[in-house]
Copies of this chain bind each other. A is one copy, B any other.
Amino acid sequence: MANNLSLRAADNIRILSAAMVEKAQSGHPGGPMGGADFIHILYSEFLNYDPNDMHWPLRDRFFLDAGHMSAMLYAQQTLLGNYSLEDIINFRQWGSPTPGHPEVDVDRGIENTSGPLGLGHTFGIGSAIAERFLAQRFGEEVAHKTYIYISDGGVQEEISQGAGRIAGFLGLGNIVMFYDANDIQLSTEVSAVTSEDTAMKYEAWHWHVQTIVGNDHDALRAAIKSAIAETDRPSLIIGKTIMGKGVKKEDGSDYEGEVELHGKPLGQSKASFAKTIEGLGGDSSNPFQIFPDVAEYYRTVLDQKRSSAAARKVKYAAWEKANPVQAEKLATWLSGKLPEINWGEIAQKENDATRNASGNVLAYLAGRVENLIVASADLSNSDKTDSYLKKTTAFTKGDFSGSFLQAGVAELTMAALATGMSLHGGIVPVCATFFAFSDYMKPAIRVAALMEKQVIFVWTHDAFRVGEDGPTHQPVEQEAQLRLLEQLKNHSGKNSVLALRPADVHETTICWKLALENQHSPSGLILSRQNITDLPAASSRFAEATQAERGAYIVQNCAGTPDVILVANGSEVATLVAGAKKLSDEKGLKVRIVSAPSEGLFRNQTVDYQETVLPSNVPTFGLTAGLPVTMRGLVGTRGRVWGLSHFGYSAPFKVLDEKFGFTAENVFQQVVSLLG
């Protein structure tokens, strides 16, 4: 492409971006105007996709970290025909497909939701891991590139440490990350915040680093080519760009690289919107236009994308024909269809810790759900993902034949990588750590929930019964915190997270089934460190535990109307069973026990079912190792909750059970007092 036309296209992106922000009277014009050159060169000359088949699994991926630069991406996708001018005129308006920060919308070329910085590029690295996993199994026929766009803010986010380290360690040569280094951030120049040698830092992680003038089209082309040619290491292109490139003041003089251009419309700054648009060759009274020559050029670009995708599909069809078993397997993975799993066949040890039960499930799934990738943040022997690791190998540089990721001590990174694998497709990602450390992961959990992507979180060491490790490692508020996301509905109207705390080994199997089958939101399994006595069962405990699929169910009933209902989840249910025996033996009370691994799931059942399990007119006692509020929604106005209202202490868990009142004796006393 001739550079003058190429510059026209980039200027067109600049105009559309600035116009969107001006029209909305909110947004970020400066970044898009600096990044326009890269995005145009990337999309028009490098990024492979099929305009007729946006979900094509072999498409190159583009992950935007800097979500505030949405206008740039929308402008680019407008040139590609994925948004209408009407769509971008309605930037940031109710009901438009152009929200202030991009939300995943593969139909329109938006691969990920972004906004909270750092997550987007880590999603990209996770997606690149998924790509390598598939390429190792199905051959380079299924390979593609992963392009990532990161800004000064994203590079500063702590998660860049985990993402950079892991991409370098794994030698992810399929990654080309463009760092839009415009030296300006929201509130200051970058030099007011950092003096780091970013190139050196990424080199310390074994990235291939190039530094170029990021608005120079030939330099961009050469750098991207060189990055693509580097297959042994991830590539970082540090593009020194000019924030607000093309911005002019009323007197026609340049007004580029100014902090105030980061986050407000040009018309609210010292710049002139009209002069800027005109300087870029646009019509300031009607800036939402695609230049005819640029439109014409993009028609040829789209033709080229279509024809090269078609050619690749022909080759791929030949591969499918030559490898029908492989091809079918890949198609199945990409469809999300799971193999038949005989859950009842999974051997569980009696009265075991639910973390061990989870380990047994994972060991069973190994080799059966072949597209499972399990990660642990350096706790595999504690969170019991090691049972899976024993059946496979961990990823190393250039070797993705196993299906385990040693994430190291980097919980947020791990969560975002797993989310990125899910975004790629074809993978069921699992990641594990202690429940207390779910705190580190919250930003990624929230965005995964918003994107409605499957990620299975295995959180062990679920309560103060962690024991000796003390209050820093003892979750108290975490279950209630997670259930807030269960209460929060996603854009599809469903629980944005499924939170599952099974009461014994058999419920653990069922909760794993729920998590695996829940492909439209993250699921969290909250598991005990300590052994738990299996719940009573009239016949097969496993068969009875299947009722956990309804979120809450009757574990032990009485004849007629109960005098009291005891409700809990996790290991507290077994304590209720012991307490109930005392209540019936010593007081002759009719007691029902309810196990409620997921209040969210339970509330999705019919009102009739809910009323059958927890009738509103029966006194109810709730027990929780979390804050009392954790069980308040289930106990409601009917009764009393015994929970933990303070930080834990370091001591053996049985001592803590006594000290904190998590005993049959205290259940007995509380219920007697409740019934007055």
Alpha-carbon distance between A506 and B436 when the two chains are bound, in angstroms? 37
Number of copies: 2
A477 touches B484 (CB 8 A): yes
Please name all residues of chain B whose beta carbon is closer than 8 Å to the beta carbon of A205 when the two chains form the complex. Answer: 196-197, 201
Alpha-carbon distance between A206 and B194 when the two chains are bound, in angstroms? 10
Encode A253-267 as 1/0 by CB contact (under 8 A) with B: 000000000010000
Which residues of chain A from 176 to 231 have a CB within 8 Å of any chain B CB? 185-188, 192-198, 200-201, 203-206
A633 part of interface (Cβ distance < 8 Å): yes
Q: A101-B473, A188-B406, A470-B101 are in contact. Are A440 and B651 (CB under 8 A)?
A: no
A187 touches B156 (CB 8 A): no
Please name all residues of chain B whose beta carbon is closer than 8 Å to the beta carbon of A187 when the two chains form the complex. Answer: 376, 378-382, 386, 406
Please name all residues of chain B whose beta carbon is closer than 8 Å to the beta carbon of A496 when the two chains form the complex. Answer: 647
Please name all residues of chain B whose beta carbon is closer than 8 Å to the beta carbon of A192 when the two chains form the complex. Answer: 394, 396, 406
Which of B24, B156, B409, B628 interacts with A409 by CB under 8 Å? B156
B156 touches A645 (CB 8 A): no
Which of B118, B397, B469, B637 interacts with A100 by CB under 8 Å? B469
Alpha-carbon distance between A376 and B188 when the two chains are bound, in angstroms? 11
A124 part of interface (Cβ distance < 8 Å): no
Chain B, residue nearest A117 (CB): B409
Please name all residues of chain B whose beta carbon is closer than 8 Å to the beta carbon of A470 when the two chains form the complex. Answer: 92, 99-101, 103, 115
A439 part of interface (Cβ distance < 8 Å): yes
Which residues of chain A from 314 to 334 have a CB within 8 Å of any chain B CB? none
B473 touches A115 (CB 8 A): yes
Which of B92, B195, B379, B637 interacts with A168 by CB under 8 Å? B195
A165 part of interface (Cβ distance < 8 Å): yes
- Shortest A458–chain B CB gap in Å is 14
A406 touches B99 (CB 8 A): no
Which residues of chain A from 143 to 157 have a CB within 8 Å of any chain B CB? 152-154, 156-157
A522 part of interface (Cβ distance < 8 Å): no
Alpha-carbon distance between A659 and B94 when the two chains are bound, in angstroms? 9
A467 part of interface (Cβ distance < 8 Å): yes
A553 part of interface (Cβ distance < 8 Å): no
Which of B114, B153, B490 interacts with A378 by CB under 8 Å? B153
- Shortest A374–chain B CB gap in Å is 13
Chain B, residue nearest A185 (CB): B378
Alpha-carbon distance between A159 and B645 when the two chains are bound, in angstroms? 29
- Shortest A188–chain B CB gap in Å is 6
Alpha-carbon distance between A233 and B672 when the two chains are bound, in angstroms? 65
A440 touches B443 (CB 8 A): yes
Please name all residues of chain B whose beta carbon is closer than 8 Å to the beta carbon of A493 when the two chains form the complex. Answer: 646
Q: Mind listing 22 A-B residue pairs with CB under 8 Å?
A: A94-B656, A100-B468, A103-B471, A113-B472, A115-B469, A116-B473, A153-B409, A169-B195, A186-B378, A187-B382, A197-B203, A197-B206, A200-B204, A437-B443, A439-B446, A440-B443, A447-B472, A450-B471, A477-B488, A480-B484, A491-B646, A496-B647
* Residues on A facing B (Cβ under 8 Å): 24, 26-27, 67, 92-96, 99-101, 103, 113-118, 152-154, 156-162, 165-166, 168-169, 185-188, 192-198, 200-201, 203-206, 263, 376, 378-382, 386, 394, 396-397, 406-410, 412-413, 436-437, 439-440, 442-443, 446-447, 450, 467-473, 476-477, 480-481, 484-485, 487-491, 493, 496, 627-629, 632-633, 637, 645-647, 649-652, 655-656, 659
6 nearest CB pairs, A to B: A115-B472, A99-B650, A161-B161, A158-B158, A94-B651, A193-B408
Instruction: A194-B408, A437-B443 are known; give 10 further A-B pairs, CB within 8 A.
Output: A24-B468, A103-B470, A153-B409, A161-B161, A187-B376, A187-B380, A188-B380, A200-B203, A490-B647, A491-B646
